């Protein structure tokens, strides 16, 4: 069957073929949820007037349409103003409809919903990329969970773990990423955020745009510009701002692990998440040890060999369990 999102798009435009109508009817009759969802897409399509301005997802899509139409601006200016606006609105709603369908289908085939929040997660040793309904792209690192609501009139994401975001620009509808301790507010930008449950630190690194981070348990807040990163320590309730070193903070997207004077415990935690292994060792034997190095798409065996060049350690690999002993 042709992609159902494309069929629904043609249905809203009244351009379906006979085969598409049959496929759509078959899909709609498979479940009450499908029928209800198609009805909601028709409702979006039939919205008029000021309702466009009240729905941020439609406004976001409208702005995306405007950007794409710039190349054809001269032609569009010859249209009557009301015709031009209706075409933009219709195209915007179409994007929202297709995005909504995509999210729905994703829910049916791997995602799960919790109180209207769509939850996406990766296990240790896995990475994933998703596209949110507003067009924002998110890359999830290993052992990460991202949740977002596809139905609310704002853009809000909850994060546990590490993710890289490329946020669709929409000045009137800020995008917020929340960790346990920090809320990060953006407009349109590229940035990464990291906060794992076992850590008291939340980090955010900025490539383009601007972000503002606010502590949830205090009045502390800080803004950064491209080339900077912030780290919030929940224990002392303070932000620290530093300069980025290249693109080390997003190197994991390409299979590269970069360590800059990492404590041995932090090193091991990252390796456990990335390679889906368990290390067994005495923390007291390595408490004063730090590691600096770059591991570029290496197997866990090669990683241990490289680490052993600077940190004398004996290791024994038993399937997914690795025993470490100081030499």
Do both 220 and 320 map to the same domain? no
State the residue for tokens 């941020």.
Answer: 56
User: Where a domain ends, among 85, 108, 131?
Assistant: 108
Do both 98 and 49 map to the same domain? yes
Do both 288 and 220 map to the same domain? no
CATH classification at residue 277: 3.55.50.30
- What local confidence, expressed as pLDDT, does residue 136 receive? 86
* Beta strand pairing call for 182-186 and 145-149: unpaired
Do both 172 and 198 map to the same domain? yes
State the residue for tokens 């981070």.
Answer: 213
Do both 116 and 217 map to the same domain? yes
| pLDDT tens digits, one per residue of 172-208 | 778 899 999 999 999 779 999 999 998 999 999 999 9
Do both 222 and 162 map to the same domain? yes
Do both 84 and 120 map to the same domain? no
DSSP-assigned beta bridge partners for residue 321: 278, 318
Domain that holds residue 291: 255-326
| pLDDT tens digits, one per residue of 301-315 | 999 999 988 898 999
- What local confidence, expressed as pLDDT, does residue 5 receive? 63
**pLDDT < 50 positions in the chain:** 1, 48-55, 58-59, 62, 65-89, 92-93, 95, 98, 101-113
CB 201 within 8 A of CB 233: yes
User: Where a domain ends, among 218, 248, 278?
Assistant: 248
Map residue 321 onto helix, strand or coil: strand
- What local confidence, expressed as pLDDT, does residue 75 receive? 44
Do both 148 and 99 map to the same domain? no
Alpha helices by DSSP H, the chain: 4-12, 18-28, 32-46, 51-54, 56-68, 73-77, 81-108, 264-275, 300-310
User: Where a domain ends, among 108, 132, 159?
Assistant: 108
Cα Rg of the chain, angstroms: 24
Contacts for 154 with CB less than 8 Å, ≥ 6 apart: 56, 173, 174, 176
CATH classification at residue 123: 2.60.120.1440
Rounded to whole angstroms, the Cα distance separating 266 from 320 reads: 19
Do both 147 and 230 map to the same domain? yes
Do both 301 and 239 map to the same domain? no
Indicate the number of domains in the chain: 3
Do both 200 and 126 map to the same domain? yes
Do both 262 and 314 map to the same domain? yes
């Amino acid at each position: 069957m042709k992609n159902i999102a494309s069929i629904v798009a043609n249905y809203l435009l009244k351009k379906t073929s006979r085969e598409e109508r049959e496929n759509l009817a078959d899909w709609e009759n498979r479940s009450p949820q499908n029928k209800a969802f198609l009805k909601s897409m028709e409702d979006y399509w039939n919205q008029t007037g000021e309702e466009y301005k009240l729905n941020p997802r439609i406004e976001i899509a409208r702005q995306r349409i405007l950007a794409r139409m710039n190349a054809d601006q001269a032609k569009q200016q010859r249209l009557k103003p009301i015709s031009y606006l209706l075409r933009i609105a219709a195209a915007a709603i179409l994007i929202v409809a297709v995005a909504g369908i995509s999210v729905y289908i994703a829910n049916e085939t791997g995602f799960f919903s919790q109180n209207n929040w769509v939850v996406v997660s990766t296990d240790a040793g896995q990475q994933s990329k998703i596209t949110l309904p507003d067009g924002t792209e998110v890359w999830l690192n290993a052992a990460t969970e991202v949740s977002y609501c596809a139905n609310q009139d704002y853009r809000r994401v909850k994060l546990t773990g590490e993710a890289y975001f490329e946020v669709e620009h929409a000045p009137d509808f800020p995008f917020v990423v929340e960790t346990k301790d920090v809320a990060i507010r953006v407009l349109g930008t590229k940035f990464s955020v990291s906060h794992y449950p076992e850590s008291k630190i939340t980090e955010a690194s900025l490539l383009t745009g601007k972000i503002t981070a606010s502590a949830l348990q205090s009045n502390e807040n800080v803004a950064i510009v491209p080339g900077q990163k912030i780290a919030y320590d929940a224990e002392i309730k303070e932000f620290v701002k530093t300069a980025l070193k290249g693109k080390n903070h997003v190197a994991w997207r390409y299979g590269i692990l970069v360590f800059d004077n990492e404590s041995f415990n932090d090193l091991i935690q990252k390796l456990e998440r990335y390679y889906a292994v368990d290390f067994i060792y005495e923390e007291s034997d390595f408490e004063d040890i730090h590691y600096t190095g770059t591991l570029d798409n290496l197997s866990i065996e090669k990683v241990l060999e490289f680490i052993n060049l600077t940190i004398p350690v004996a290791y024994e690999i038993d399937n997914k369990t690795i025993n470490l002993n100081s030499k």
